[in-house]
Amino acid sequence: MKKTHLLVLFAILMLLFTACSEKDDKNPTDPTTPIVGNPPAMALTADYVFDLPAEGTEYPDSVIVDIEYSGAPTPGIPLTYFITKAMTDELVGNNKADDTRSLFAYEPVGSDGISSRKNGDDDIFWSLFKEGYLLPENAHRVFFENPPVNAYNVKYLDKIKLYRAVQVIKPNGDKVLFELNALETQQVANHNDAQEAGIELKSFISTFVTETPANYTYEFMASDEFAVSYTWEQIQDGYWLKDSKTTIFPTFNDDMSNSQKKFKKLMQIKLIPAE
């Protein structure tokens, strides 16, 4: 009888193990490993972490604005007060007038460790982030007045993580966020023939973006709104050089202008139907 019980117990344990294994296969625990056809994964490593002043900090009257929250006015501090152009200029090596804050995605994180990612939401595009406020007298929370976005209203804001990112605009106009630190790299010769980490440009054109990439041309836009178009053949050949912060096209370089082969401050890739 005891032997029979042991055999039954063993069989149950094997069934449980098999079920867990199947679940793990369908739901990878590594958030940097996107599933084919799914939205891109978010990066685990930030390019910069800004630590906010402690709760109770007094701010200059010149930066405080009245925000309506829960039907009553309350003091608000624009998030742009904390994340400055000078900060992101230093991160990307910019000395021009363009606003390089548009080159990053933003993750507000509370002192309890809860962030805007808590419900599986993407990090925040600059176009939305710049409309947000810190409400120091209301649980030190992030608040978006217009448009209202409750998903990002993190309480007890403690830090803001910045991720170098590229927006890809799908044929239907939807924007897809690709964070560079979530993409695979490989060693490639840069413009000085030295090896460095490069991201294949075709990594930005996943099946989530389009299943027919050859049907489009790809307009790259920089933070200063400078734009260059590329064919799908060129995209397949190209890389984003992470240290050099520019593109390279090993096969096509000799036939390209300097600005085309060395595209810098990449902010956005827009898919346009090929003629």
DSSP label of 187: E
Q: Lowest-pLDDT range, 12-16, 108-112, 118-122?
A: 12-16
- pLDDT-derived band at 37 (thresholds 50, 70, 90) equals low
Domain residue spans of the chain: 48-165, 183-273
Average pLDDT over the chain, rounded to an integer: 88
Query: pLDDT (tens digit, 9 = 90+) per residue, 115-148?
Result: 988 878 889 999 999 999 999 999 999 999 876 6
In what side-by-side order are the strands of the sheet with 132-135? 65-69, 72-78, 132-135, 141-144
Instruction: Look up the pTM and report it.
Output: 0.85
Residue 258 burial class via C-beta count within 10 angstroms: exposed 0-12, middle 13-18, buried 19 and up: exposed
Q: Is the pLDDT of residue 9 over 90?
A: no
Dist CA 103 CA 127 (whole Å): 10
Q: What is the mean pLDDT of residues 7-13?
A: 45
Chain position carrying tokens 């120091």: 136
